[in-house]
Structure 1
């Protein structure tokens, strides 16, 4: 949406004209026959309802009020719902409402759980009421707050751009269009307009709780910035978000075009959803990141699009060799014959009933893995991620002596005395600390020297078996995955 002029807060006619212009410019009601309007009872949502009704009437759009009670404020939230239903009845509008039972858990805050429950309600309402879109009352202050919250979390342009006037969400095959026509108006302007028009609203006392990050930004950080840097800080932040939004959309378009060209130029016999690793590595850093993110998102792999997984992919691409990575969401990616693609998940190895000998020099056939031992000198350093491949270590050849090297899976009571640490550590504790999935724990090969646990792949070797110097005789152990392309 293009930049919009600020409306005069106390001129009701001007604010109505402003909304008419915004709705027309943003094509908010294009293709909409039934519109859900999210109304909490607060000032922003009440203003949204009042300002959207005239354009809806002119366009022949049927409005439906949506109210979701998060169940977090007891009698106060019940009163909010009663107020919204009375408003709907007074205006002759249908009202769809629901009550949630929000709890934190599974790594989610109460705020995040509440947001997800509200989105669930939106999807359910859109399906039940045959809604073409849902309007929410997010305004300019929300944009500024979102930018600051995401800035301190290390977000890129897309995250900092934050709330968009038009957005489409997809969940379990259902799409939901959200429109936000108030993004150009600050909260104070909407409150002033309601007062001038004699329209009441409900106050949510929990919005004053500065233990909640957004409230702390609203009531402490933004006023502090305004005091020291000028009173228009929120508006300037909203402007920055708008500029970032345009940059983000342009970068998305460039990445999308690049991916489409890759599909068109894909060599015969290769999967059309693979990418040339060399051509991708030749792009700018910004475009590499966006291409990888968009490519993964299009394949439903949102869990693998965070900063760290994308950087791991970029570093791997720079090697210009064949490789394989496991990313969040148990996603297996790799380069084969110069093409980046999604690989089959390796079959989980069947735990060995008896210890499996590892000859020195030689190799052992562990299902899904290739494990080799070589005579060498010095320390072999490998990746340090427990349970991730490839993995490597070195054992002191003299310390090993004539004891056999064997491989087996874990057993109750297994412990290792790791180099650089005093005492021993339980293998179970290592797995928990590394957040190794439960299904992987019973399949991980452990290396034994005689009866001594010598190495947990991706972790330290036992201190009594550590190589002491760069020229000391050693045994180098390497573990790599056996490669399988996705059919």
Structure 2
């Protein structure tokens, strides 16, 4: 059987992933891989039935050489009437500023340009990349050296989605089954010019060192090491896909969404195999963060640790993500999200009764309600309201947050207890306690809003009652 050509491989890949008719944004560096890929897609535009544009990023690391590459890409494709967009960034400065390696800084800036351009101009476009078979082998080996799990061992997928700086991007790599030798032969056969990046020969960069030194060394033990690595990646991908299906099945029974936070049931989490529980935690963290960049094994292990500790323990994760244990739940949220309770001053604010009281972030509405008022504890933090004895309208009422030494006599109890003890016994999450509104009169705390009324402030069943409702976006 005649081997499938590079051209056929790319066109078949476009069709197999349902990309016929989709706009394609081709990332072209000027090297042989991206030039060969772009040549096929541009010259076969009608066959692939796809709108095409070229994206090129100048990292400004190689000075005039890099500028020459940018001009080469722009001139070559504009001569073919293909829209070409070039951007640049000072990667050396970015690397120093953010304390990143040159490789990481370059990749970050490059992909930010790709994502921003596509989302601002062609929201449905697919970012098409020229990674080949040998790149895949190098990636899998690099991930193995770093101690990656099954996710990293998969290497790169031919088609995937990725969130970059909060922007959702589709990625397409049609050359993953094509080796570097075939790419160079295609360029030679079709007289396609290409540029050589001089930094590709510097072993100061991890990937270059793997390609130029480690893989040739490993070939002494296995001449087909690249094929073996890619096979490992394919097996890992197959297992990963199965595990992901299981995670999707389990997820709804363990996780709920609340005000931009993910709430995980710890008791249900602990019933799972450790491998599945670990992946549930990672899914929660990455979903809240928006991507898995910098979310390491250590971070997920820290999340696992706090599920086994006492309530109130927290861990800070990358991207301003916080995971905190609240009794049988693990709360995962961003530090600036609406899930965090809005702060409430511990300095008393007078409540207008009846009427409306407006504080910086709270709106408090009080009114007289007809009989059958409920005085039962309300343990839903979303229902920020309370029913009180109407006689309290004759007194001055204030609202504040808790103070050290506060005491409270909950309804149904003969004696007061420390407010701190009441909050612990009521399982009010630690992160909320300073923000729970307290209604106070000269007699003391009349209500812990949303949780319990004081015994002496319980409304009479035969009379109207004072109803006070609190509204705040952040609680």
After TM superposition, is the score higher than 0.5? yes
TM class, shorter-chain normalised? 0.5 to 0.7
* Deviation string, structure 1 residues 103-153 (Cα, Å, up to 9, x no partner): 222320111111111012102321343251111101111111111112121
Q: Give 2:30's aligned residue.
A: 41
* Deviation string, structure 1 residues 8-31 (Cα, Å, up to 9, x no partner): 6xxxxx33222222222233x156
Q: 2:232 aligned with 1:240, yes or no? A: yes
* Deviation string, structure 1 residues 359-414 (Cα, Å, up to 9, x no partner): xxxxxxxxxxxxxxxxxxxxxxxxxxxxxxxxxxxxxxxxxxxxxxxxxxxxxxxx
Q: How does 1:451-466 map to 2 (within 5 A)?
A: none
Counterpart CA distance in 1 for 2:340 and 2:127 is 39
Counterpart CA distance in 1 for 2:219 and 2:150 is 23
* Deviation string, structure 1 residues 222-247 (Cα, Å, up to 9, x no partner): 111112212x2112212211221222
Q: Could you tell me how far 1:303 is from its partner in structure 2?
A: 7.0
Q: 2:97 aligned with 1:97, yes or no? A: no
**Contact kept? 1:158, 1:245, Cα under 8 Å:** yes
Counterpart CA distance in 2 for 1:212 and 1:171 is 23
Q: Could you tell me how far 1:182 is from its partner in structure 2?
A: 0.6
Q: Give 1:126's aligned residue.
A: 118
Q: Give 2:426's aligned residue.
A: none
User: CA 1:191 to 1:6, structure 2 compared with 1: closer, same or farther past 3 Å?
Assistant: farther
Q: 2:328 aligned with 1:335, yes or no? A: no
Q: How does 1:176-191 map to 2 (within 5 A)?
A: 176-191=169-184
Counterpart CA distance in 1 for 2:47 and 2:150 is 37
Q: Give 2:16's aligned residue.
A: 25
Q: Give 1:316's aligned residue.
A: 306
**Contact kept? 1:281, 1:318, Cα under 8 Å:** no
Structure 2 residue ranges without an equivalent (≥5) = 334-338, 344-428, 434-474
User: CA 1:332 to 1:249, structure 2 compared with 1: closer, same or farther past 3 Å?
Assistant: same
Q: 2:217 aligned with 1:224, yes or no? A: yes
- Matched positions, count: 340
Structure 1 residue ranges without an equivalent (≥5) = 9-13, 349-481
Q: How does 1:71-86 map to 2 (within 5 A)?
A: 71-86=60-75
Q: Could you tell me how far 1:290 is from its partner in structure 2?
A: 0.7
Q: Give 2:7's aligned residue.
A: 16
User: CA 1:332 to 1:64, structure 2 compared with 1: closer, same or farther past 3 Å?
Assistant: closer
Q: Give 2:77's aligned residue.
A: 88
**Contact kept? 1:6, 1:184, Cα under 8 Å:** no
Q: Could you tell me how far 1:162 is from its partner in structure 2?
A: 2.5
In structure 2, the residue corresponding to 1:312 is in which secondary structure?
helix
The correspondence for 1:116, drawn from 83, 108, 124, is: 108
Counterpart CA distance in 1 for 2:260 and 2:53 is 46
**Contact kept? 1:47, 1:194, Cα under 8 Å:** yes
**Contact kept? 2:26, 2:53, Cα under 8 Å:** yes
Counterpart CA distance in 1 for 2:316 and 2:232 is 32
**Contact kept? 1:147, 1:237, Cα under 8 Å:** yes
Q: Could you tell me how far 1:59 is from its partner in structure 2?
A: 4.1
Counterpart CA distance in 1 for 2:12 and 2:260 is 47
Q: How does 1:382-393 map to 2 (within 5 A)?
A: none
Q: Could you tell me how far 1:157 is from its partner in structure 2?
A: 1.1
Counterpart CA distance in 2 for 1:59 and 1:318 is 54
The normalised TM-score by structure 2 is: 0.65
Q: Give 1:154's aligned residue.
A: 147
